Amino acid sequence: MIRTDGITKRFAGQPPVNALTDIDLTAQSGHATALVGPNGAGKTTLVKILSTLIIPTSGDAQVNGYSILRQSGQVKSSIGLVTVSERLFYFRLSALENLVFYGSLYNLSLSSAKERALELLALVGLRDWADTKAMHYSTGMLRRLALARALLHDPPVVILDEPTLGIDVVSSRSLRHMMRELAKKKTVLFTSHYMKDIEEIAEQVYLMKEGRLVENGSPAELIANAGKFFEVEIASPNVPHDLSKYVVALNGSATRLRLPEALLGELGRSATIIGSARATLEDVYVKVVGESTMDVRLHQVKRGGGRE
């Protein structure tokens, strides 16, 4: 289980960046919990804090019952972390050799490291490529190998930052399946920009924007709260600014939008209703944390825009 208590992170600089403000969330054991939000929302910063890679400006969190501030050693041994980093593996070593090497860092004996590595390679579907050098692995294979690496010490908590980023349909499908299996027994916390990941894996979703938690619930609860959505067309390429994030298509001089029932009135009588539907998770995202492209740029400038 993970429980955060008022986590705040401010990066010094000109201007300083308030990456996280007062984050209170819980990720339960036996569940998958997702962090969702636009670029710069603070997801990776929170992942880094929970894995003790950086310390919060204020607040604390319990990971597997240990404080990230006072018991960072125990926290580290409680978690398996999968990040987007490409530089996790020694490219001249085989997948198996890489895992055995990392296993030895967890004080596993050579024979038990090898046994564990082979078991995990089978789990992530790479058993037949155990002896292939990491340099010949595809992006999707490297992500799966990263998951195997994170599971070497059988941690009760698994944290994944964008596990399906840049990988093909079949690989991401099998990754989702693995994550669902893991979440039956462990605490799984992950970030993703793909609504399919969220729909298929997460039991609990936290929507974040500009460093704050905006809303949370199960996918079904979030969809129910969002209400009914309408697909409408207006005979103009100009859309009121606050509705621009709801645009789904521009057809010549006409604009098609998909927007919540409560906003229909803002379009006036020129709007043609094409149809209505229950919200999807994507609709929820757009409504709760979506930003128009222009807003994203504005926030980057306003908040310093400093990337690593």
Ligand X SMILES: Nc1ncnc2c1ncn2[C@@H]1O[C@H](COP(=O)(O)OP(=O)(O)OP(=O)(O)O)[C@@H](O)[C@H]1O
Which positions touch Mg ion (CB under 5 A)? 43-44
* Distance in angstroms (rounded) separating the CA atoms of residues 109 and 131: 20
Q: Shortest distance, CB of residue 162 to Mg ion, whole angstroms? A: 6
Q: Shortest distance, CB of residue 33 to ligand X, whole angstroms? A: 15
Q: Which is nearer to ligand X, 45 or 64 (CB)?
A: 45
Q: Shortest distance, CB of residue 83 to Mg ion, whole angstroms? A: 9
Q: Shortest distance, CB of residue 211 to ligand X, whole angstroms? A: 7
Interface ranges with ligand X (CB under 6 A) = 11, 13, 17, 19, 37, 39-45, 303, 306-308
Q: Which is nearer to ligand X, 76 or 212 (CB)?
A: 212
Q: Binds 17, which of Mg ion, ligand X, none (CB < 5 to 8 A, cut-off by type)? A: ligand X
Q: Shortest distance, CB of residue 35 to Mg ion, whole angstroms? A: 9
Q: Which is nearer to ligand X, 14 or 107 (CB)?
A: 14
Token pair recorded at residue 168? 């093909």
Q: Shortest distance, CB of residue 45 to Mg ion, whole angstroms? A: 8
Q: Which is nearer to ligand X, 220 or 294 (CB)?
A: 294
Q: Which is nearer to ligand X, 127 or 212 (CB)?
A: 212
Q: Binds 11, which of ligand X, Mg ion, none (CB < 5 to 8 A, cut-off by type)? A: ligand X
Q: Binds 216, which of Mg ion, ligand X, none (CB < 5 to 8 A, cut-off by type)? A: none
Q: Which is nearer to ligand X, 128 or 308 (CB)?
A: 308
Q: Binds 307, which of Mg ion, ligand X, none (CB < 5 to 8 A, cut-off by type)? A: ligand X
Q: Binds 103, which of Mg ion, ligand X, none (CB < 5 to 8 A, cut-off by type)? A: none
By residue count, the chain amounts to 308
